[in-house]
Structure 1
Amino acid sequence: MGKIVDISKWQDKVDYKAFATETDLAILRVQDGSTIKDMVYQTHTAGCEQYKVPYGVYAFTRFTSVEDAKVEARDFYSRATVGGRKPLFFVADVEVKTMGDMRAGTNAFIAELRRLGAKKVGIYVAHHLYNTFNLDYSKADFVWIPRYANDGVSVIKPNYPCDLHQYTDKGKIAGITGNVDLNRLNGTKSLDWFLGKEDVKAVSKPVNQGYYKKKYDRLVSLTDVGVYEDKEFKKELKRHKKGTKLDIIDIAHSKNGTPRFITCGGYVTANREYVKAYTVK
């Protein structure tokens, strides 16, 4: 498998022919807020298209209100798709607190992208802000989290469930001199899913127990339930009291096929004796 790399104006000199030999997926920055366009974006898209490198796009968010979030999303979509470009997906890069309710702003940003025609939308959230921002991850199609080791080589897994893990900012790739951000698949979604070759969400696939065959957005605990670091339930991170409501991101399976709900914060049982899942209308 090749590499998943995200690049921006900081990588302004790229040998795209060489870049294509090692890259399975590129994620290109379009803007930093509404006022700052990434001036290398069009060059990056042209190079990727010429050498058939699949790419998605991201925008560093700076919105200060719900209405401002909608404006940023419109600018993002317009800049990313000008000239008939069709990115595989769009990502809201949420790394700084710019308004009181980051959840509301991010939801508005995502909703506006979908209204404009974006089929796949992700959230990139800083690791240390995952819980603090309290984002509604169920509104996104995938979650992308950065967490690096000091040596730039070792992999330190995120403490939270995600589909993409940005594991180093000291990576190397053909065609670019200097360090780049490299990413790895970390959830249930395959590379084909990101490339648009597998459009059915993993969460929609039937699982062992027939009562979890559809996508749910929320669950409520019927008893006290544990939240675990991994789907094998080897390490409990915390417990939730009976009646706690949690957002569902996806469904995963243990090694023996037992379904688990992936929630904001970790893995939770999918046993209907302990939790009740329901769709938010």
Structure 2
Amino acid sequence: MAGVGALNQTAHAATMGTSIPDLSEWQGALTATEVQNLKKTVPFVILRVQYGSDYKDKDFAANVALCEKYGLEYGVYSFSQYSSTSDAKIEAKDLYTRAPNADFYVNDYEDQTVSSGTTNSATAAWYSELRSKAPHKRILFYSYQSFANEYAATAMTKYDGYWLAAYQSAEPTVAHVLWQYTDSYYASALNQNVDASKKHGKNKSWFLSSRAISFNKTVTVKKAGYTIWRSLAWTKTNGTTKTGTTYTAKYYYNHFNRSTYYSLYQNGKWVGYVNKNAMTVE
């Protein structure tokens, strides 16, 4: 009977969803199978590294090792507990030291813990310290809107984007790049409910690839036939490279697919993105 059932069984491929889970020791240590299934079903994950500086998430090291082994892209966050500007710098430094390979970083500030100086100055210092360690990666600020407005309205504008926590059916209109919309998303890969978010106005590449890195060099096509992309999400094109054509590469991006792309300009007009392997630098 088992043999007959196997012959008649229909295989179903995992479907990539839009919800992005954020995970900590509260969800338990991930297994290799769970990580492989997450890679098939979610754009990326966001892992907690620490609760302040003194407490390290007990499952982070094992979880991140599995993510890197199986190619599951991840950002990281610190549940911040800093009490001053100097303390904020320490927490940011510890986050980077504990997760140097993360695609992006998040200051999760939702408890008012600052007792020396202002929260805005401490939150700005957190960003500046992390930026000095990771000059080309995205750094986000997470909180509830009312809390953010009261305690960090000025400082949060320094960050690359706002990860907004709002458990409601309608997406808020306040500017944000991630919306944490639920604490009860059923993650089939984990067989449990977890916190989850959705991207807003930014594609996957924006989170996982580098920021624009200034370059400003003349480059010439050495290999024809490379796609000229109008989006690093690969949704629009602008023809292909032609040998001998010269451009100005004003910026480059380290993409999460492990390739580097030049942002090309010609006669002052932007042309698109091209894999640097197609070009030679003059």
AA aligned to 2:66 is: G
Instruction: Give the corresponding residue for 1:190.
Output: 203
Instruction: Give the corresponding residue for 2:183.
Output: 169
Query: How is 1:195-210 mapped onto 2 (pairs within 5 angstroms)?
Result: 195-196=208-209, 199-200=211-212
Q: 1:135 to 1:180 in 2, by over 3 A?
A: farther
Question: Do residues 103 (structure 1) and 120 (structure 2) align?
Answer: yes
Question: Do residues 129 (structure 1) and 147 (structure 2) align?
Answer: yes
Q: With the length of structure 1 as denominator, give the TM-score of the two structures.
A: 0.64
Instruction: Give the corresponding residue for 1:73.
Output: 92
Match of 1:8 among 15, 24, 35: 24
Q: With the length of structure 2 as denominator, give the TM-score of the two structures.
A: 0.63
Q: Deviations over 1:32-60 (max 9, x none)?
A: 00111001111111221222111111001
Q: 1:159 to 1:130 in 2, by over 3 A?
A: farther
Question: Do residues 90 (structure 1) and 105 (structure 2) align?
Answer: yes
- Is there any run of 5+ residues in structure 2 with no aligned partner, and where? 1-15, 214-282
Q: Confirm or deny: 8 A CA contact 1:92 1:123 kept in the other structure.
A: yes
Query: How is 1:53-68 mapped onto 2 (pairs within 5 angstroms)?
Result: 53-68=72-87
How far does residue 131 in structure 1 lie from its aligned partner after superposition?
A: 1.3
Alignment identity in percent? 34
SS in 2 for 1:24: coil
AA aligned to 1:65 is: S
How far does residue 200 in structure 1 lie from its aligned partner after superposition?
A: 4.3
Instruction: Give the corresponding residue for 1:113.
Output: 130
Structure 1 Cα separation of the partners of residues 88 and 126 of structure 2: 5
Query: How is 1:243-262 mapped onto 2 (pairs within 5 angstroms)?
Result: none
Q: Which stretch of the first structure deviates more once superposed, 32-41 or 11-20?
A: 11-20
How far does residue 159 in structure 1 lie from its aligned partner after superposition?
A: 4.6
Structure 2 Cα separation of the partners of residues 135 and 44 of structure 1: 34
Structure 2 Cα separation of the partners of residues 117 and 165 of structure 1: 24
Structure 2 Cα separation of the partners of residues 45 and 135 of structure 1: 32
Q: Deviations over 1:76-135 (max 9, x none)?
A: 111112xxxx11111100101111521111100110011123532110012331211124
- Is there any run of 5+ residues in structure 1 with no aligned partner, and where? 150-154, 202-281
Q: Confirm or deny: 8 A CA contact 2:78 2:107 kept in the other structure.
A: yes
SS in 2 for 1:108: helix
Structure 2 Cα separation of the partners of residues 135 and 117 of structure 1: 22
SS in 1 for 2:43: strand
AA aligned to 2:128 is: A
- Runs of 4+ displaced beyond 6 Å: none
Instruction: Give the corresponding residue for 1:254.
Output: none
Q: Confirm or deny: 8 A CA contact 1:127 1:158 kept in the other structure.
A: no
How far does residue 164 in structure 1 lie from its aligned partner after superposition?
A: 0.3
How far does residue 25 in structure 1 lie from its aligned partner after superposition?
A: 0.9
SS in 2 for 1:144: strand
Structure 2 Cα separation of the partners of residues 43 and 192 of structure 1: 25
SS in 2 for 1:160: coil
Question: Do residues 144 (structure 1) and 159 (structure 2) align?
Answer: no
SS in 1 for 2:67: helix
Q: Deviations over 1:154-174 (max 9, x none)?
A: x33225211100011100113
Q: Confirm or deny: 8 A CA contact 2:48 2:76 kept in the other structure.
A: yes
Structure 1 Cα separation of the partners of residues 148 and 190 of structure 2: 31
Q: Confirm or deny: 8 A CA contact 2:183 2:194 kept in the other structure.
A: yes
Q: Which stretch of the first structure deviates more once superposed, 61-70 or 98-107?
A: 98-107
Structure 2 Cα separation of the partners of residues 5 and 200 of structure 1: 27
Structure 1 Cα separation of the partners of residues 161 and 141 of structure 2: 7
Q: Confirm or deny: 8 A CA contact 1:166 1:184 kept in the other structure.
A: yes
How far does residue 178 in structure 1 lie from its aligned partner after superposition?
A: 2.1
Q: Which stretch of the first structure deviates more once superposed, 133-142 or 162-171?
A: 133-142
Question: Do residues 39 (structure 1) and 52 (structure 2) align?
Answer: no
Structure 2 Cα separation of the partners of residues 50 and 20 of structure 1: 11
Match of 1:179 among 193, 200, 211: 193
